[in-house]
């Protein structure tokens, strides 16, 4: 499925265009009021559900995916978090799986060298087609979308990034082409990514859901 822009992005210090309609996405510096992604998720859910923060608790499944265990009436909500040094992201959706990832574009200095381990040759060629100023951004668009997808399906560490094949072309045309070489798991996902300029640096934020 292709990307679809929409509102509902809450950013504490930068104004950026919307993420995926119906999915809440929140981005902040980790040194801000909400010091951890889990803490931020708790505050956001407290507001959304109108329950005290103390009434909200999470558990993790066998693969490490977080899910709400209280309040019981919130079991339809899915939550995903990510942190990259001093920036963190939270995505919350109701009734559908969601995954989020955020990375600074400067995080892996040798990003291009590791592409064969994580990217298909078509993805690597797409990244390499950018000029050197935009190449890191293109790399992290692919990276964060794959990570966000692996969180949305809940397999996390057991999911090799190379098993998620993106269809990438142009600036914003992105979809999941195949997963483990097949179409079955690849259908029905929405992908969104955005480059956020923060204090002279750039972070790439990606969100995947299944509406």
Ligand X SMILES: CC(C)(COP(=O)(O)OP(=O)(O)OC[C@H]1O[C@@H](n2cnc3c(N)ncnc32)[C@H](O)[C@@H]1OP(=O)(O)O)[C@@H](O)C(=O)NCCC(=O)NCCS
CB of 170 to ligand X, least distance (A): 25
Kindly give the interhelix angle for 121-128 and 132-152, rounded to the nearest 10 degrees: 140
Count of residues in contact with ligand X, rule CB under 6 A: 21
For residues 58 to 77, the per-residue mask of contacts with ligand X, x marking binding by CB under 6 A and - elsewhere, is -----xxxx-----------
Shortest-Cβ-distance residue relative to ligand X: 156
Residue 211 interacts with ligand X (CB under 6 A)?
Answer: no
Per CB under 6 A, contacts with ligand X among 3-62 are 37-38
Other CB atoms within 10 Å distance of the CB of residue 6: 15
List, in sequence order, every residue forming a beta bridge with 202; answer none if it has no partner: 197
Q: Considering only CA atoms, which of 69, 89, 71, 93 is closest in space to residue 81?
A: 89
Residue with Cβ nearer ligand X (22 or 39): 39
Q: Which of residues 130-169 bind ligand X (CB under 6 A)?
A: 147, 150-151, 154-157, 159-161
Q: Minimum Å distance from CB 90 to ligand X?
A: 10
Q: Would you state the structure tokens that stand for residue 68, as one six-digit string? A: 């709400």
Alpha-carbon gap, residue 162 to 95, rounded angstroms:
28
Nearest to 25 by CA among 89, 97, 102: 89
Q: Which residues bind ligand X (CB under 6 A)?
A: 37-38, 63-66, 80-83, 101, 147, 150-151, 154-157, 159-161
């Amino acid at each position: 499925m292709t990307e679809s822009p929409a509102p509902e992005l809450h950013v504490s210090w930068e104004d950026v265009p919307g993420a995926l309609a119906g999915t809440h996405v929140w981005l902040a510096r980790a040194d801000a009021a909400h010091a951890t992604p889990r803490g931020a998720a708790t505050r956001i859910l407290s507001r959304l559900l109108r329950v005290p923060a103390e009434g909200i608790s999470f558990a993790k499944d066998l693969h490490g995916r977080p899910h709400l265990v209280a309040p019981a009436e919130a079991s339809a909500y899915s939550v995903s978090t990510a942190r990259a040094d001093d920036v963190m992201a939270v995505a919350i959706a109701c009734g559908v799986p969601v995954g989020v990832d955020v990375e600074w574009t400067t995080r892996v200095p040798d990003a291009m060298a590791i592409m064969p381990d994580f990217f298909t040759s078509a993805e690597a060629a797409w990244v390499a087609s950018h000029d050197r100023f935009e190449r890191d951004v293109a790399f992290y668009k692919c990276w964060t979308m794959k990570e966000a997808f692996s969180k949305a399906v809940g397999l996390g560490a057991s999911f090799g990034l190379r098993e998620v094949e993106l269809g990438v072309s142009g600036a914003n045309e992105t979809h999941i082409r195949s997963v483990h070489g097949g179409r079955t798991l690849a259908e029905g996902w929405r992908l969104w990514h955005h480059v956020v300029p923060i204090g002279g640096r750039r972070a790439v934020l990606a969100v995947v859901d299944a509406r």
